[in-house]
């Protein structure tokens, strides 16, 4: 079955026993969160790379619904693992430097105690008697395993989807044991549409005539129901674009698969195949338990609730979503980010552009961005351990994040002035931070707290790799992830002229910060006036010199006088004004700044 349409990220994994799996058994009784207890729990796990003598290089990788402990291959003969793209020697999670632990969750069917395990009280499989499992129960078992391995603190915990739920709960419940937490394609609770699909999938299993109330181990398993659940899963893991790419061209040409299911369309034969293969390796009762655990997981719906939930965490967070993921959509990641920022936690986020849907977090094709981000987090944790600050970097790219450089910006005279206006103990939000030039300078002089917002994915990746806290967001869509008065100072350094909704951005600045610092190119600078008046051309109002009127990032040029109007219109108080002529060495302009200054830095209050 080498047909590319039939391959999938969650590749049809073999039902063969895992060669390198180890187990540990913990005597009970273990009480579970929602009632019921287990007499003893066996945990299946795999280890990649060596634990350092200080035991400070361990990274726990948590799996999603249908995963297991086999994260990656152990050697050339081994079967590939489910996160082969990310984990391995020389990979972004480098097993030559780190000790990676893959662990099968409680309730699973790949070595860890689950509904298919023998209930010692009866000598028969637990079946429906196996208690309801929560993400919290899974995390409790992870902690037992860490104790068993003698690991008091993980460098990081990493997980996508249900794996992300485990990762965030571990960071919350055991803050001293987690220094970094990378959350991919996950959410603090599934939204109602995802929940609805899970309900239908469970109904398909429990209504299967062979389900027999979960007591089916002596007879035929509820294969039709489980296969239908799996088909639904496969649909929701992909995006519409990914589905079309696989099946649109030959939709009426199904593959010749042996199945009881409809195989009239190519997508039908694909779903039948995936459903049938899944049944060979997965247990329906495990599916029910894990699917329900995902749905029951609920850290809150509002920023306030989420902030309460995350309050105990102390680690650095990385939150990664994927633009086409509709099962764990980007805005849910942003809810998480909002709560973490509100709490003053260290967090970066990126909404990775991808057409691959929820599956994206597993794919090699999307690795350059999400892998780079995860590596950025791990590198930063290493720098933390070595007491190093963020990378100052060398280039100060175009402040508008569009990649252009010129002599003016490479000097970034505005940075010096902006720095002077910011007390060292102030918390700072840099809106339109680009790759973090100003942030790095603030951080290196010991600024208490610096957070950036940037809309360009590449700039976010660079800033994260430098070791900065950057939120990937578009200012024109508002700043609802930030709460009122959350920062001492909000900086808009050459950003305002690149947004369309100036009013919204200024109002959000005033809402979120106690003071604002806005720097911009004065459109009425003498040279600009001359260009329009004498040359009859629209001047370059600060686009960086490499753009033309039809593609400049500056879409809202304004003069100093215009900006003052705007402040009056929106009720913003000007606290101080700093007008410079950068063409004359950056000297401060005192007289007729609207003519003589090209760079304006205005400090605003409410």
What backbone torsions phi and psi does residue 383 show, to the nearest 5 degrees?
-65, -40
Of 228 and 580, the one with the shorter C-beta distance to a second copy is 228
List of residues 6+ apart from 120 with CB closer than 8 A: 39, 40
Nearer to a second copy, 67 or 329 (CB): 329
- Under 8 Å between Cβ of 76 and 1: no
Compute the least distance from the CB of residue 551 to a second copy, in Å.
Answer: 7
In the complex, the smallest distance separating the C-beta of residue 93 from a second copy, rounded to whole angstroms, is 32
Provide CB contacts within 8 A for 559, sequence distance 6+.
522, 523, 524, 594
531 DSSP 8-state letter: I
Closest CB to a second copy among 425 and 565? Answer: 565
Is 161 considered catalytic here? yes
Choose, from 8, 161, 324, 348, the residue flagged as catalytic.
Answer: 161
Q: Nearest approach, Cβ of 2 to a second copy (angstroms)?
A: 21
Q: Supply 177's token pair.
A: 């044991």
Tokens representing residue 222 in the block: 């509820």
Minimum CB separation of residue 131 from a second copy in Å reads 15
Residue of 43, 65, 124 whose CA lies nearest to 115:
124
Beta bridge partners of 601: 519, 578
Residue 42 DSSP one-character state: E
If the CB atoms of residues 115 and 329 are measured against a second copy, the closer one turns out to be 329
* Residues 467 and 376: beta-carbon distance below 8 Å: yes
As a whole number of angstroms, the distance between CA 233 and CA 294 comes to 13
Q: Beta strand 124-125 with 118-119: parallel, antiparallel or unpaired?
A: antiparallel
Task: Between 318 and 524, name the residue whose CB sits nearer to a second copy.
Answer: 524
DSSP symbol at 534? I
325 catalytic per annotation: yes
- The string of DSSP letters for 583-598 reads GGTTEEP-S-HHHH-S
Judged by CB, which is closer to a second copy: 1, or 248? 248
The secondary structure element, H or E, covering residue 258 is none
Closest CB 272 distance from a second copy, rounded Å? 8
Packing angle between helix 330-342 and helix 303-310, nearest 10 degrees?
Answer: 60
Q: How far is the CB of 135 from a second copy (least distance, A)?
A: 16
Tokens at 336, concatenated: 């998480």
Give me the least distance between CB of 268 and a second copy, in Å please: 4
Annotated catalytic residue: which of 358, 396, 402, 578?
A: 358
Q: What does 344-360 look like in DSSP terms, one character per residue?
A: T--EEEEEE--SSGGGG
**How near is the Cβ of 250 to a second copy at its closest, in Å?**
11
407 vs 533 by CB, closer to a second copy: 533
314 Cβ partners below 8 Å, 6+ apart?
175, 176, 178, 345
CB nearer to a second copy: pick between 463 and 558: 558
| The CA-based dihedral angle spanning residues 419, 421, 427, 431, taken in that order and rounded to the nearest 10 degrees | -70
Pairing between strand 22-31 and 37-48?
Answer: antiparallel
Minimum CB distance to a second copy smaller for 154 or for 523 = 523
Point out the catalytic residue in the list 137, 283, 325, 581.
325
The tokens for 491 are 């900086």
The whole-angstrom separation of Cα 577 and Cα 600 is 7
**Cα dihedral angle (102, 106, 112, 115), rounded to 10 degrees?**
-150
Question: CA 569, CA 311: separation in Å to the nearest integer?
Answer: 39
Nearer to a second copy, 107 or 436 (CB): 107
Report the alpha-carbon angle 492-493-498, nearest 5. 80
Question: Minimum distance between the CB of residue 401 and a second copy, rounded to whole angstroms?
Answer: 15
Rounded CA-CA distance 29/48 in Å is 30
Provide the minimum distance between the beta carbon of 331 and a second copy in the complex, in angstroms, as a whole number: 10
Nearest distance in Å: CB 535, a second copy:
8
Q: CB-wise, 40 or 538, nearer to a second copy?
A: 538
Question: Cα(353)–Cα(527) distance, rounded to whole angstroms?
Answer: 40
Contacts 24+ apart (CB under 8 A), 360-367: 360/185, 360/322, 360/324, 360/325, 361/160, 361/161, 361/184, 361/185, 361/320, 361/322, 362/9, 362/10, 362/82, 362/83, 362/85, 362/160, 363/9, 363/85, 364/84, 364/85, 366/322, 367/85, 367/86, 367/92
**Active centre residues (catalytic):** 161, 325, 358
């Amino acid at each position: 079955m080498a047909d590319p349409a039939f391959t999938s990220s969650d590749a049809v994994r073999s039902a063969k026993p895992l060669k390198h799996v180890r187990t540990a058994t913990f005597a009970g009784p273990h009480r579970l969160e929602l009632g019921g207890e287990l007499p003893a729990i066996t945990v299946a796990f795999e280890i990649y790379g060596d634990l350092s003598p200080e035991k400070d290089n361990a990274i726990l990788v948590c799996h999603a619904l249908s995963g297991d402990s086999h994260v990656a291959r152990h050697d050339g003969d081994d079967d590939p693992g489910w996160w082969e793209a990310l984990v391995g020697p020389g990979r972004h999670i480098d097993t030559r430097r780190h000790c990676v632990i893959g662990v099968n969750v409680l309730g699973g069917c790949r070595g860890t105690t689950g509904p298919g395990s023998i209930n010692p009280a009866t000598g028969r499989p637990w079946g429906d008697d196996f208690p309801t499992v929560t993400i919290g129960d899974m995390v409790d078992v992870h902690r037992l395993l860490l104790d068993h391995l003698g690991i008091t603190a993980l460098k990081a915990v990493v997980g996508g989807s249900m794996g992300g739920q485990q990762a965030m709960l571990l960071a919350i419940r055991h803050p001293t044991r987690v220094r970094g937490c990378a959350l991919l394609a996950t959410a603090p609770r599934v939204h109602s549409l995802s929940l609805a699909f899970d309900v239908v999938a469970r109904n398909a299993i429990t209504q299967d005539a062979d389900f027999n109330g979960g007591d089916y181990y002596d007879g035929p398993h509820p294969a039709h129901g489980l296969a239908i659940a799996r088909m639904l899963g496969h649909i929701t893991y992909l995006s519409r674009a990914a589905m079309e790419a696989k099946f649109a061209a030959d939709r009426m040409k199904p593959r010749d698969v042996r199945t009881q299911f409809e195989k009239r369309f190519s997508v039908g034969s694909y779903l039948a195949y995936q459903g049938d293969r899944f049944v060979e390796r997965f247990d329906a009762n495990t599916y029910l338990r894990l699917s329900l655990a995902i749905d029951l997981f609920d850290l809150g719906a509002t920023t306030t609730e989420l902030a309460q939930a995350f309050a105990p965490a102390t680690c650095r967070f990385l939150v990664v979503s994927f633009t086409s993921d509709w099962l764990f959509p980007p805005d849910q990641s942003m809810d998480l980010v909002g709560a973490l920022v509100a709490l003053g936690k260290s967090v970066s986020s990126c909404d990775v552009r991808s057409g691959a849907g929820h599956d994206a977090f597993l794919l090699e094709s999307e690795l350059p961005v999400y892998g780079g981000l995860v590596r950025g987090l791990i590198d930063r944790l290493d720098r933390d351990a070595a007491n190093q600050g963020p990378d100052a970097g060398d280039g100060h790219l175009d402040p508008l994040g569009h990649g252009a450089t010129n002599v003016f910006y490479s000097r970034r005279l505005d940075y010096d002035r902006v720095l002077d206006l910011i007390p060292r103990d102030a918390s700072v939000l840099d809106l339109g931070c680009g790759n973090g030039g100003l942030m790095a300078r603030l951080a290196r002089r010991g600024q208490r707290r610096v957070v950036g917002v940037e809309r360009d994915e590449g700039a976010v990746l660079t800033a994260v790799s430098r070791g900065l806290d950057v939120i990937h967001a578009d200012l024109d869509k508002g700043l609802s992830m930030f709460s009122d008065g959350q920062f001492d100072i909000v900086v808009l350094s050459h950003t305002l002229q690149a947004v369309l909704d100036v009013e919204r951005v200024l109002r959000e600045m005033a809402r979120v910060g106690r003071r604002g610092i806005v720097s911009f190119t004065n459109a009425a600078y003498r040279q600009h006036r001359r260009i329009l008046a004498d040359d009859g051309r629209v001047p370059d109002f600060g686009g960086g010199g490499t753009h033309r009127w039809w593609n400049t990032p500056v879409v809202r040029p304004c003069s100093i006088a215009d900006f003052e109007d705007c402040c009056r219109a929106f009720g913003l108080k000007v606290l101080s004004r700093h007008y410079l002529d950068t063409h004359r060495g950056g000297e401060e302009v005192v007289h007729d700044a609207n003519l003589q200054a090209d760079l304006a830095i205005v400090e605003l209050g409410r």
